[in-house]
């Protein structure tokens, strides 16, 4: 029996990811995940933050518009009286699988350092696009790793539940 933690995503948010993904394909896009963590460590995504106007979209990388992300994050946090918080990032792989690239692992490691006081297990949600289909890989940060001197991360897979 699987003991994977679950990540809950509504059909509407799945559709949002698909639409934002198709808009930028064949380049990547992404943003932030907002929501809350249940008592057992399962997470519920309640809102996505998009890339922002100054994001950089390339075929195998994506750099979000940091100022935009921070502004939206603060707005949503205040709008929900702090109930919803930052859970991690999401991005698309328009022509790839759901695994994290070496660069993604370095990004997860950087995020984990940045938000260490807030959450020990930030999530990187990868949305692999294939026409109108999405295959999700929800990677939960577990601990820091290094390959030579390059920061990386050990992650565990969560089970994505579309509801
Ligand atoms: Zn990636």
* Ligand 1 centre distance from Cα of residue 103 (Å): 7
Distance 92 CA to ligand 1 centre (A): 7
Q: How far apart are CA 23 and CA 55, in angstroms?
A: 14
- Determine the Cα–Cα distance for residues 10 and 57; give it in Å rounded to an integer: 25
Sign of CA dihedral 11, 48, 59, 149: negative
Q: What is the phi/psi pair of residue 111, to 5°?
A: -60, -45
- Per DSSP, the three-state class of 37 is strand
Tell me the two tokens of residue 81.
């009286």
pLDDT at position 147, please? 83
Chunked into runs of 10 residues, the chain (163 residues) has average pLDDT values of 87 98 97 93 96 96 94 90 91 94 94 90 97 94 90 96 94
123 alpha carbon – ligand 1 mean position (Å): 13
The rounded Å distance from CA 81 to ligand 1 centre is 32
Q: What is the pTM of this model?
A: 0.94
Question: Residue 35 corresponds to which tokens in the numbers above?
Answer: 């929501």
d(CA 101, ligand 1 centre) in Å: 5
Q: Which two tokens stand for residue 96?
A: 């790839």
| CA 104 to centroid of ligand 1, rounded, Å | 5
The alpha-helical segments, DSSP class H, found in the chain are 11-24, 66-79, 102-114
Kindly give the distance from the C-alpha atom of residue 59 to the centroid of ligand 1, in angstroms, as a whole number: 10
Distance CA 156, CA 31 (A): 20
> What is the per-residue pLDDT for 105?
95
Residue 9's pLDDT is 97
The count of other CB atoms within 10 Å of the CB of residue 75 is 11
Q: What is the Cα–Cα distance from 29 to 15, expressed in whole angstroms?
A: 14
Predicted confidence at residue 2, as pLDDT, reads 60
Domains observed in the chain: 6-162 (3.40.140.10)
């Amino acid at each position: 029996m699987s003991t994977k933690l679950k990540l809950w995503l509504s059909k509407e948010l799945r559709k949002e990811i698909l639409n934002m993904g198709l808009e930028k394909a064949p380049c990547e896009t992404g943003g932030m995940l907002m929501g809350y963590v249940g008592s057992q460590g399962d997470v519920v995504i309640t809102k996505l933050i998009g890339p922002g106007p100054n994001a950089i979209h390339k075929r195998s990388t994506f750099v979000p518009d940091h100022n935009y992300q921070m502004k939206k994050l603060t707005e949503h946090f205040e709008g929900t009286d702090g109930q919803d918080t930052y859970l991690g990032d999401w991005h698309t792989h328009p022509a790839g699988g759901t695994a994290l690239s070496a660069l993604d692992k370095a990004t997860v490691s950087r995020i984990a350092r940045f938000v260490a006081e807030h959450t020990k297990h930030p999530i990187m949600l990868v949305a692999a696009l294939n026409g109108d289909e999405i295959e999700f890989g929800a990677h939960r940060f577990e601990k820091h790793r290094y390959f030579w001197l390059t920061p990386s991360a050990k992650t565990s897979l969560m089970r994505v539940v579309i509801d």
